[in-house]
Chains A and B, each alone.
Chain A
Amino acid sequence: MPVIVVDMDKCTGHGRCYAVAPLLFTDDDEGRPIVLVSHVEGDSEKQALAAVAACPESAIWLEDDEQ
């Protein structure tokens, strides 16, 4: 199952991920994301891909879970 990866060094707090995919991400006190649901499939994978596309810093992507 694909897993959401966020590179916090690239993240600058645009807040797009939790704006477009509020079921998968929420924000911390500095406006940066907290991943709520890391493993995604079906509709949640589509939402995750929308968050990937919405990130201005290309700081989010999906990786195949090794298991």
Chain B
Amino acid sequence: MVNPAPGRVVVIGAGLGGLRSAEALRRRGYAGRLVMLGAERHLPYDRPPLSKQVLRGEASLPLLRAASDLDSLDATVLLDTPAIGLSVDDHLVHTATGDVAYDVAIIATGAVPRRVPGVEGGRVLRTFDDAHALRADLKQESRLLIIGAGLIGCEVAASARALGVTVAMVDVLPAPAIRVLGPDVGRLVADMHTEHGVELLLNRTVVDATRHEDGHRVALDDGTEVDADVVLESIGVIPDTSWLGSSSGIRRDNGVVCDADGRAAPDVFAVGDVANWAGHRHEHWTNVGLQADHVAAAILGQDIPPGNVSYWWSDQYEVKLQGLGQPLPEHDVAIVTWGPKARPVAVYSHHGRLTGLVGFSAAGAIMRLRGDVAAGTEVGEILDRLSPGTPAG
């Protein structure tokens, strides 16, 4: 396949997806011009530490590359320059300071937090500046109410408890992170938070929120009222596509609609949280890098790299939760313990075939089985291999 290399690639977004796209193009030999537009004032930084090391005050801006190291990418990085529109017909990205012409554009604008209706003065956690503001709010004597017990909410709860903050966490569903973990494994995570002193308010929704001089009062649908100094809204994110407007020529439906190669329109691709590839949108860190490499190969007309089993992780207290595969809510789950420390490992299956694994600080157990997740190995065999008493390997 002969693909003339584009003369100028414009990457819209300077987060993980934008940076990994630029890196993948250079790694694959692209020698043309590269422009990266960042909406924030910061150089590309990493988001997972925001809810952990940054919030606990152990780290400052977690740059993905040192400024000097960024130079080696030979890219023009324009910070504080959000895209405000795009025209497929004209091959232009619009910004407040002028239009940027592209031969190929990669949309990597990520997502923005979904807000809880009626909550005034709540915090969110998506950007470094968000983390900084939340950090400044949290004092040892503070009472924090977290609305939404997904992975971000859970990580903030753990970090806040480490700071000595009083934490309550409310969720409409019966267990934390239930969409990722399912109810059985979600209950293990619930226990973990309860043991660390988090007040969990599950199966409940926020019906009213008022803000007064001394803080917030949030009413739940069962009549409970929660007083808090700080409220965090962590009920998920919405793909950041509003800047595209209605006349861009880019189709949107749960993100930028793309084919299986990330192509959204002629010469326009999308990666990461903003991208809906062939009907699937993923918000995991690992997925972004794989998509960026895939798109770089597609742009340069090179062989598409092989896919990889989906992977995510979440650090809460001393536990590293790690997941492989993409089990669906209706799949079966068996929870076993692994190794001398009896770490929980959740084994998900459908019609007797392995579909996913979640380990609680059990990398040694689950990583060995990544090929089995891809292959859909018979689940009985997996349980035999994990069960104590069976010689490893």
Q: Which residues of A contact B (CB under 8 A)?
A: 12-16, 18-20, 27-32, 46, 49-50, 53-54, 56, 58
Contact = CB atoms under 8 A, between A and B. Distances in A.
Contact of B368 (A14, A27, A46): A27
A65 to B, nearest CB: 18
Interface in B240-296: 285-286, 289, 293
Contact of B20 (A19, A29, A30, A53): A53
B33 interface: no
Contacts of A32: 363
A15 B27 contact: no
A25 to B, nearest CB: 11
A54 B23 contact: no
Nearest to B69: A61
Interface size class of B (residues with CB under 8 A): 20 to 34
A19 B363 contact: no
B313 A29 contact: no
B117 interface: no
A20 B28 CA distance: 15
Max count, chain B CB within 10 A of own CB: residue among A30, A31, A50: A31
B200 interface: no
Contact of B367 (A15, A46, A56): A15
A54 B363 contact: no
B317 interface: no
Contacts of A16: 286, 311
Interface of B: 20, 23-24, 27-28, 48, 64, 285-286, 289, 293, 308-309, 311, 313, 320, 322, 362-368, 370, 392
Nearest to A31: B363
B285 A12 contact: no
Contacts of A27: 364, 367-368
A1 B309 CA distance: 31
B392 A56 contact: no
Contacts of A12: 320, 363
Nearest to A16: B286
Contacts of A18: 367
A63 to B, nearest CB: 13
Given A20-B308, A29-B392, A56-B48, A15 B23 contact: no
Contacts of B289: 53-54
A32 B64 CA distance: 22
Given A14-B311, A15-B370, 12 more contacts: A13-B367, A14-B363, A15-B311, A19-B311, A29-B364, A31-B363, A31-B365, A31-B366, A46-B28, A50-B293, A53-B289, A56-B48
Contacts of A56: 48, 285-286, 313
A46 B24 CA distance: 10
A19 B290 CA distance: 11
